[in-house]
Amino acid sequence: MIQVILTRGWSDRRATLGLLKVVGIKHDPIFTLENPLRETSVDSRIPPGTYTCKAHYSEAHPGSWELLNVEGRTNILIHSGNTEADTKGCILVGMAAGSISGTPRVNGSKDAMTLLKGFLTDEFIITIIDERNYSG
């Protein structure tokens, strides 16, 4: 089964940024944006760990993937979007990361989804790692 690793590297009170790597495949960097760690699990980033992902199709997010068995959570997706305003606890992907007017963001999100669709199948494993302690 395909293995994906998301390594979180930066977080503050607004967002968490990371890098996503498909194991065994050489590809351009894929950046991620998630919610920050919050006191309530409803809109916080999900805990580090290993999750099964399955293809997900909905009107709002066609062609995305859902992380299964996230404790206390449902509908956690990998999908396109740019800023924390575009996610309710999901993982956004992009081809670049940065900020505009101090707002963390990923850019080239649709391109990142297209790239991932070329590598990933309808089911894969994702491991999420917190690379360092955050000061956010």
For range 101-118, the mean pLDDT: 96
Alpha carbon 21 to its chain centroid, in Å, reads 11
**Residues contacting residue 26 through CB under 8 Å, at least 6 positions apart:** none
For range 74-87, the mean pLDDT: 95
- Distance separating alpha carbons of residues 136 and 12, to the nearest angstrom: 4
| Contact (CB, 8 A) for 38 and 134 | no
- pLDDT reported for residue 125: 98
- pLDDT reported for residue 131: 84
Q: Residue 60, exposed/middle/buried by CB under 10 A (0-12, 13-18, 19+)?
A: exposed
pLDDT (tens digit per residue) in 47-80: 999 999 999 999 999 999 999 999 989 999 999 9
pTM to 2 decimals? Answer: 0.94
- pLDDT reported for residue 43: 81
Per-residue HEC secondary structure of 57-85 comes to: CCCCCCCEEEECCCCCCCCEEEEECCCHH
What is the percent of the chain where pLDDT is above 90? Answer: 85
